[in-house]
Structure 1
C-alpha cells in the first residue's frame, strides 16, 4: 500500500531502499560530476541565474494532479490543453507552458542510452507534441528526476548520470521547461545533482526554464538561485484543504528569497480538481498569487466548469502574481487564523490578502500604513474578486468566510474622493441553528471611508425554503464615516434540513455622494446542527460541523488510508484494533456541535500501524476556542494513549492533530473509541 505523502515524495531514503532491494549499485560517472558550489556566507544570497528567463513566475499547465499515470495522460490530452489555452483565452491571460509530468517515457532507454517516448501515449513522439504546442504560440515542458529513476512506482529512467545526453535530447525536441524531481537519488549531494543538470541545459544553448523539485529537503532557497529558476519548497500538494494550508504555511516565511528569475514553488494549483470548495480554490489562487508562486494549472481543463475558468482567468489576480517587481508577499499578522499578507507592487501600490484559516467566518482587519503605504488623506481600494473600487480612510477590513480570502489592491490616491466610500459588511459571528427552530442573528455595515454613504440598505437571503425576516431596521438614509448599521434577523432552516454549513447572501446597496449606486453581495453562513444524543455516544456516529485533513478525507471507523474516501483499513494502534473512531492525517481538525449539552470527551489516540515505524503527531482537544487537553508528540513506537477532557457548557468541540514538528509525512493518526458523555 502506498502511504501518504505519495511514493513520489519519499526521497533519498526510499531511493536507497529500492536500490538495495533490487541489488543494484550506482556510481556517478566522473564526466557527469561537477564540484559542489562553495558555501555562501551566513545570510548571503547566491547570485541569480541572470539568463533572462522566468522574470515573472512561470504560468501554464502540468498534468500530474489530475491524471497521475492513468491512460488519459497522452498526446491527445496535451494537444487538447494547448487548444483550450487559446480558445478559452488563458494564453492571453499569461499561461504559456504546457508541461508533461512523469510516465511519458518507456521504462528502459534504447541501446544508445536515449530516452524513448511511450508509443502508446505519444505515438508521434515528443518532438511532434512540442511542435504542436509551439504552433499555438505556447511553450513546452517535460519531466525527469535527478536520480536513477523517476518517482512513479514503475520507475522510468531518471537523469542521474545521463544529464548531458538527456539535456541534448530535450533541446532537440524543443523543450522550454524542465521539472527535475528527486527520487532514487542514491544519496548524491543535491547541489551537485542539480548543478550538473543546470550545466547540461546551458551546454545545449537552448533557453530552458529549470524547475528544481527536491521538495525543500535541502533548503534550495538558500543555494539554488544560480542553479534553477524555481525550487519546490514543500512536498507534493494534494487536492484537500489540509494539504493546501500546510504547504502555504511552509512557503510564506520564505519571501526574502523570491525575485525575478528565482521563485519559491509551493507546487501546482489544484483549482478545478473537485476536492475543495470554490471558496478554497479562490484562496489557493489568491495566496499563490500574492506569494509570487508559479501558476501551473493542475486540473484537466477538458472537463473544467466555468467557475474553474473564472478563477484561473482572473486577470487582476494574475497581475498580482506577475508583477514585474518580483516581490513575494510578507505576513503582516496571523493571530487566531486571521492572516494579513501584503505584497509591494511595481507601481507603489500594495496587494493585500485577508485570509481566514479557520472553519468559521472571521473579521480580519489591517491598515494602509501597516501594509507599507505612506500616510494619506484617503486610499483607493480595489477588490480583485468583486472588481469594484472604493475609498477608505485607511482601514482595510472584511468579514471573511471560512477558508476564504479577500484580495484587494491599495493605492495612496489623491483622487480618492472620486470613489464611493468603502462599506464593510458581514455577520457579527458565526451562528448555529437547528432545523425548524428560528435563530436570531445580526449583520453589520460599517462605513470605512471619509465621505458619507447615502440610502444604505441591506437584505439577507438564504437557500431555497429558508425563512429570513428582519427584526430591526434595514435602511439608513445617511451612514456617516465610521458609523455602523446593525440589523437583526430571524432565520429558520426548513424542518428536515440535513446538518451542514449553508451559505446566505447579505446584499448591501448605497449611493455615494457623487450619486453612484453601488450594490455588493457579501457571503455569510449558518450551521444547521443536531444536538448530540444523551448519554455516552461515539463521535463517529454523529455529523461534524467541519473537517480538514492533511491527506485525503477524514474517515469514520477506518484509518485515513490514502487520498480516496473509504480506502483505509481498521483503526489499529500498537497492534490493537478498534471498531469505532476517526482516522485522520495531520495536520487535521474536526469540529462537532455540543450546544452546551455535554460533560466530557474521551478517546484513545495514537499513530495508526498502517504507516509502519514512520510518522509523528500530537493530539489536542479544544472547547469553544480553548485548549482543554493535549498529548505530547507521539510516534508509532507508542501504544494508544488515553486522552480525556471536560467540555461542560461548551458549544463546540474541536479535535486537532498537529504533525509533531517534522512536516506532513506519514502522520496517519487515530481518534479511537472517541466518545461524548452528554
Structure 2
C-alpha cells in the first residue's frame, strides 16, 4: 500500500543541436533510473551529515552564463561580467562567484589526458581568466559533468576525476558545477562522491554544486557529498516553470542548512517572459527557501529594475541569514501561500505569495508563523522598506503572481523544524497516511515504518506537523476544530488554525494546542491500521511519540 514514484523533469531550451543531445541524455538516464530509483526510494534516509569543507555556510551567491548565453561563453564575457558585478553593486551586495558553464573546452583531451580550454574562447586559459576575476576580489567557477560527455558533448569527468580536479585547482577555480548527462546509468551518489574526494585531495577549497536534476532523492544524501544540490530539472524564464520548481523545492526544508543547500536552479530574474513582479517573486521565494542566488541574466546590460531586484539588501539578508533555516509553508489555500523562515536573533521572515492571476489579500498571524509573547510586533516590508506594527494579524493585498515579504520582530519564536518518522512508542510503528493518499479528511493510522513520504512529518516553526511537500503538503488536523476525547485526527490543507498546532512535549506526548488533548493510538492497539485520535492525556505508551 506504500509505493514510490519517479518524476522525469524538463530541461531548459537549448540551441537545436544541443537540445536534442541533452534531451536524449536525460531520457536515457531516466529510463535506467526507472529501475533503480524505486528500490532506492523505498526508504527515505535521514538528512546526511554536512560536507564540512567550510564553504557555503550561507547559500552561495554569484553569476552563471548559461541562462543568458548558452554555449556562447568566452573569456571576454566572463571578464566583462566580473567587471560589471564589481561596479554595479552586485559584488557589494554579496555576489562573489563568476561561473563558467558548458562549452568552455575543446572536444578532446590532450595527450596527458587533461582537459583543454578552447584557445579561441579563452586565449588566456582558465588560469588567466581566474587571475583577472580574483584581481577584482571575486571568485571563479567552472562546469563539468559526472558522465562521459557534458550535456553539450564535450569531454566529461567520469573516470577522470583526479586529473580534472587537479586541473581545476591549478587554474585557481573556486566553484564546480557538476552536471549529470551521459552518466552510463551508474548511481549518482557514487559518481558525485568520486569528484568530492578528488576535489578534497587537491587541498584547494572548491565549492561543490551537484547538478543531478533532483534524481535519486539527492536531498537525502547530498549534504555529505556537496555544498548544494539541484532538487529539480532545469528552470526556464517563464512563470509556470518558476512556479513548478517552487512547489518541488519548498517541502525539502529539513535537508538544508549551513554548508548544504537545496538548489531550485539559477535565477531567471531579468530573462524571458518574466515580468518585474514575477522576477521579484522568484527572488523572494528563493531567499525564503535559503536557496543559492545565482544570477543568470546579461549583467553588463541589466536594467535598473533587474539590478534593484538582484541587490535588495533586505531580501538578501533573509537568504544569507546565519541561522541557516529554509522557510516552510505555513498555509496554502487556493493558490495563496504563506511561508515562514526563522532568522538568527529571533525575527521571522514571512512571504505572502499569490500564485493566482488576480490580486488577492493574503492573511496569516504572528502565532501561525511561530511568534508569541508580544502585544505588538514590528513588520518591515522587505521590498518597500516601510515599517508598521500589528497586534498579531499579518496581511497584505498581493498582486497576481506577486509576493509581499515581511520581517517580523518582537516576542519569541518557537517550533523545532525537526523532520522524520513519527514513531508510536507503544506499538513500535509509525504515524501513517493510509495508501499515501492526499485526500483531505483522511484519518491517520499507525503502520509498520517504511520511510515513505506518507510517514515523514515535519514539526514547523508554527507548531504544525506537515506531511508531503509542495502543493500536496498537508497538516495534521483535529477534525472540525473539535476538542472532545475521541476526535479523529486527519490530514487537511494547512491553514494556520489552532487545531493544526501541536506541542511536542519533553515527556514524549504530542498535545493539540487548541484542545490540550494528546495524540493517541485508539485503544492502545498495535496492529497496522490502528487509527489515531485525540484523547485525555494519561501517560500511556500509546500516547508516547518520537520524531526522528
Same fold (TM over 0.5): yes
Separation in 2, partners of 1:10, 1:214: 15
Separation in 2, partners of 1:162, 1:95: 31
Runs of 4+ more than 3 Å apart: 3-17, 38-43
After superposition, residues 10-409 of structure 1 pair within 5 angstroms as 11=25, 13-14=27-28, 43-70=45-72, 73-152=73-152, 155-409=153-407
Separation in 2, partners of 1:39, 1:5: 26
Q: Is the 8 A contact 2:11 2:234 kept in 1?
A: no
Separation in 1, partners of 2:198, 2:159: 11
Separation in 1, partners of 2:70, 2:113: 26
Q: Any unmatched runs of 5+ in structure 2? A: 1-9, 14-18, 32-39, 413-470, 472-548
After superposition, residues 423-502 of structure 1 pair within 5 angstroms as none
Q: Is the 8 A contact 1:366 1:395 kept in 2?
A: yes
Question: What is the CA-CA distance between 1:50 and the residue it aligns to?
Answer: 1.5
Q: Is the 8 A contact 2:41 2:217 kept in 1?
A: no
After superposition, residues 635-654 of structure 1 pair within 5 angstroms as none
Equivalent position SS for 2:300: helix
Equivalent position SS for 1:164: helix
After superposition, residues 512-661 of structure 1 pair within 5 angstroms as none
- Please identify the structure whose Cα radius of gyration is greater: 1
Separation in 1, partners of 2:274, 2:30: 35
Question: What is the CA-CA distance between 1:376 and the residue it aligns to?
Answer: 1.3
Separation in 1, partners of 2:30, 2:357: 41
Going from structure 1 to structure 2, the CA distance change for 1:43 and 1:126 (only over 3 Å counts) comes to closer
Q: With a CA cutoff of 8 Å and minimum separation of 6, indicate the structure with the bigger relative contact order.
A: 2
After superposition, residues 407-426 of structure 1 pair within 5 angstroms as 407-412=405-410
Separation in 2, partners of 1:385, 1:45: 33
Separation in 1, partners of 2:367, 2:120: 59
Equivalent position SS for 2:372: coil
Q: Is the 8 A contact 1:232 1:266 kept in 2?
A: yes
Separation in 2, partners of 1:399, 1:316: 20
CA deviations over 1:15-56 (Å, ceiling 9, x no partner) = 699xxxxxxxxxxxxxxxxxxxx9998552211112211100
Q: Is the 8 A contact 1:9 1:236 kept in 2?
A: no
Going from structure 1 to structure 2, the CA distance change for 1:9 and 1:340 (only over 3 Å counts) comes to farther
Separation in 1, partners of 2:271, 2:226: 29
CA deviations over 1:486-516 (Å, ceiling 9, x no partner) = xxxxxxxxxxxxxxxxxxxxxxxxxxxxxxx
Q: Is the 8 A contact 1:286 1:317 kept in 2?
A: yes
Separation in 1, partners of 2:127, 2:57: 26
Partner of 1:583: none
Q: Is the 8 A contact 2:140 2:175 kept in 1?
A: yes
Partner of 2:521: none
CA deviations over 1:73-92 (Å, ceiling 9, x no partner) = 21111011111111112111
Which structure features the higher share of strand residues?
1
Partner of 1:27: none
Separation in 1, partners of 2:382, 2:41: 42
Question: What is the CA-CA distance between 1:13 and the residue it aligns to?
Answer: 3.9
Partner of 2:491: none
Separation in 2, partners of 1:14, 1:68: 22
Partner of 2:452: none
Question: What is the CA-CA distance between 1:393 and the residue it aligns to?
Answer: 1.2
Going from structure 1 to structure 2, the CA distance change for 1:9 and 1:387 (only over 3 Å counts) comes to farther
Separation in 2, partners of 1:328, 1:16: 29
Going from structure 1 to structure 2, the CA distance change for 1:102 and 1:306 (only over 3 Å counts) comes to same
Separation in 1, partners of 2:83, 2:206: 22
CA deviations over 1:102-152 (Å, ceiling 9, x no partner) = 000111111111111111111111100000000111111000100000012
Equivalent position SS for 2:222: coil
Q: Is the 8 A contact 2:373 2:411 kept in 1?
A: no
Q: Is the 8 A contact 1:16 1:186 kept in 2?
A: no
Separation in 2, partners of 1:88, 1:134: 17
Equivalent position SS for 1:57: coil
Equivalent position SS for 1:55: coil
Going from structure 1 to structure 2, the CA distance change for 1:273 and 1:406 (only over 3 Å counts) comes to same
Q: TM-score, normalised by structure 2?
A: 0.69
Separation in 1, partners of 2:291, 2:129: 27
Separation in 1, partners of 2:255, 2:276: 30
Separation in 2, partners of 1:182, 1:50: 23
Q: Any unmatched runs of 5+ in structure 1? A: 18-37, 415-586, 588-678
Question: What is the CA-CA distance between 1:11 and the residue it aligns to?
Answer: 4.6
Separation in 2, partners of 1:56, 1:334: 27
Partner of 1:554: none
Equivalent position SS for 1:98: strand
Question: What is the CA-CA distance between 1:403 and the residue it aligns to?
Answer: 0.2
CA deviations over 1:364-420 (Å, ceiling 9, x no partner) = 000011000113100000000001111111111011000000011001169xxxxxx
Separation in 1, partners of 2:11, 2:392: 45
Q: Is the 8 A contact 2:354 2:400 kept in 1?
A: yes
